[in-house]
Structure 1
């Protein structure tokens, strides 16, 4: 039969309980009793009514993974072993208990082979791959039959020997080919390194889980684990010991290469950033210098224009002042001129028939009436108003 996987059951929990050391002895190996099933406790223990009393019965020469142990976690296929036994032995089913040399163990459980419809239930559990054959002397009456059933389960790949059941060692052993086939070449680029690390990590983790499970097999402290895989474990251990260190070294090489590439990328990025910042600073300084020069030129131009305007305004005011002074001087001369001369000027013809011959003007350009005989046009007076010249 094939069994389902119970989610969350750890692979390394492929262990079983050890039957308690038998202490009480019976009269002989052929003793047997009729009984009625009361309930199933776990994969290898039931309660049965025997001769009017309810007894706790531990099936001889078979051990199943833990399911309800108060101090142990649920183990791989422990719930399935219990379910299997519940399907075989329903409450009220009639069974036969066959005893061996010792009838009870240290926990006062009855030790027996359980038969239903002439089939040994102890062996049925092992043939389903949900239990392993165990031998605790002197009770060996059912050991060979259970061991043969276990061999059939191994050959058929049932239960604990099914590689499709995630928590079994055969399932973990499927990690060996990928582990052995990890490449040794380290990619040259960061993306390749990251991809190789991502691919290697789960393969190495699976190999490490298999190694841990094999350690439990080798320890012999877990009966189900040791008995179920004792034949295959040495070859698996050999392969794990060869492949796992090489895979871990490859993973470390990938990690180192990734760190090296990261440092190189960070250095390049820092250099590019520094170059970009330097270029930006130079461009900013050049722009600021150009703006400052343009501003200074504009200020100089404005100052020059202001000076030119100021000079033009000053010149204009000076000209106005000179003309005003000349007008005042002329007016003063007119005011002081003798009345007769003034009348003569007024009676003189506006336009003489022919201009009088002008005498040579003094070198200063200014003179008196005698220097400009017959001139009746406008006069420009020298400072002080004593001399004048034609305007």
Structure 2
């Protein structure tokens, strides 16, 4: 719930304490009405027509209906056309409705001024011989204020207010969220918590966010308290007068808690800076290691690529060498084959030449033999000294040259 809303608006029905306060007020109002029925002599008497709000009623006085503003008491606003309902405003109205029912007889006492600037009658209102102005303050549903120069009922209302303050009634009850003590209890709680020491950045940020929200709420409430002016035209008069009744201890406690909270915030900011620096250092180290690992990987990849390129170059060189050797071997084979063919051709040619020479010689011998036979046939026959008749071939002579035989 926002502080501005708490300070300026009522909490009727929104709090078990407020509901209890209303029930108790109604019961006490009944007791007060029956406590003393002996009427005293008053400046005027009247009959209640209706309750307008917590400190204003309509009553018939001397046969005329008048709006009566109870003097020296200020209750939380419920009827202002430009302001929201204030804390315990509905409860104050409910109390007065149970205290002053339509048809009830009332006594009126006046002070120096009889009318306010709105034309309302200013009076102390008595019912059953009890000053209702003070009864409201005793319930903690209104605060004592001076309407200078009218202060006739101020002390009695102030005494009732102090009783309510001592008994933590109504606007002084810290258990009711919308009261000033209740509002202070809310912002003061996180402001006065023991310092935390988060272990991580997220926890520190969360702690700072919570503390900053509490500081903002405290500052806003402190500002609202400080801006209220001490007169009946205050934007939230009851808030101011409760603050005055507490003698400023509420503001002092809040200021002290805010100062401590700011110190906590400084420490948390330093812790956050430290954690972020540590995180950044870890991040930088991780990035450095990652960069080193990447550089190492690239170096290893480059080395692997170099070795692969070298191996490929060696493979291609070996392949080229093998191709060269194969080509050389093929050339040598072809050269040897050609040489063999040349030699074979040469041998064949030599063989053919030898055959041709042998044939020529054979032909020459045959021709010589033919001619010899022809000549022999043409000569006259005589006894031949040739022991090998018809042989015309080479002769092989025995030693001494006297005999011969055909050469083998």
> Please, which of 112, 134, 137 is the counterpart of residue 123 of structure 1?
134
What are the residue-to-residue correspondences of 1:241-390 with 2, within 5 Å?
241-327=255-341, 329-331=343-345, 333-334=347-348, 336-339=352-355
Report the counterpart of residue 168 of structure 2 in structure 1: 157
Per-residue CA deviation, residues 270-316 of structure 1 (Å, 9 max, x unaligned), is 23312321231122122222222223212322331233134214412
> Please, which of 100, 103, 106 is the counterpart of residue 110 of structure 2?
100
Matched position secondary structure for 1:296: helix
Per-residue CA deviation, residues 173-192 of structure 1 (Å, 9 max, x unaligned), is 54668756755xx9596568
Which has the larger share of helix?
2
Greater shift in the superposed pair: 66-75 or 188-197: 188-197
Per-residue CA deviation, residues 232-286 of structure 1 (Å, 9 max, x unaligned), is 2344444455554344234223313422442343134223312321231122122
1:34 is the counterpart of 2:30 = no
| Cα separation, 2, equivalents of 1:188 and 1:135 | 52
Asked whether the 8 Å contact 1:30–1:100 carries over to 2, the reply is: no
Q: 1:329 to 1:187 in 2, by over 3 A?
A: same
What are the residue-to-residue correspondences of 1:176-255 with 2, within 5 Å?
179=191, 182=194, 197=208, 200-201=211-212, 204-205=215-216, 207-208=218-219, 211-212=222-223, 214-216=225-227, 220-221=230-231, 222=234, 223-255=237-269
Q: 1:53 to 1:148 in 2, by over 3 A?
A: same
Q: 1:34 to 1:47 in 2, by over 3 A?
A: closer
Query: Which TM-score applies when normalising by structure 2?
Result: 0.64
Per-residue CA deviation, residues 63-104 of structure 1 (Å, 9 max, x unaligned), is 1122232343443323332343344455x4434251414332
Asked whether the 8 Å contact 1:9–1:167 carries over to 2, the reply is: no
Larger radius of gyration: 2
1:67 is the counterpart of 2:83 = no
Q: Per-residue deviation at 1:324?
A: 4.1
| Cα separation, 1, equivalents of 2:212 and 2:292 | 43
Q: Per-residue deviation at 1:50?
A: 4.7
Matched position secondary structure for 1:301: helix
| Cα separation, 2, equivalents of 1:282 and 1:241 | 60
Matched position secondary structure for 2:115: strand
CA RMSD of aligned residues (A): 3.9
| Cα separation, 2, equivalents of 1:271 and 1:95 | 87
| Cα separation, 1, equivalents of 2:358 and 2:172 | 153
Q: Give the unaligned 5+ runs of structure 1.
A: 1-5, 16-28, 344-391
Query: Which TM-score applies when normalising by structure 1?
Result: 0.66
Asked whether the 8 Å contact 1:81–1:125 carries over to 2, the reply is: yes
| Cα separation, 1, equivalents of 2:268 and 2:2 | 33
Q: Give the unaligned 5+ runs of structure 2.
A: 11-40, 360-408
Per-residue CA deviation, residues 39-81 of structure 1 (Å, 9 max, x unaligned), is x432222334556654332222211122232343443323332
Asked whether the 8 Å contact 1:66–1:78 carries over to 2, the reply is: yes
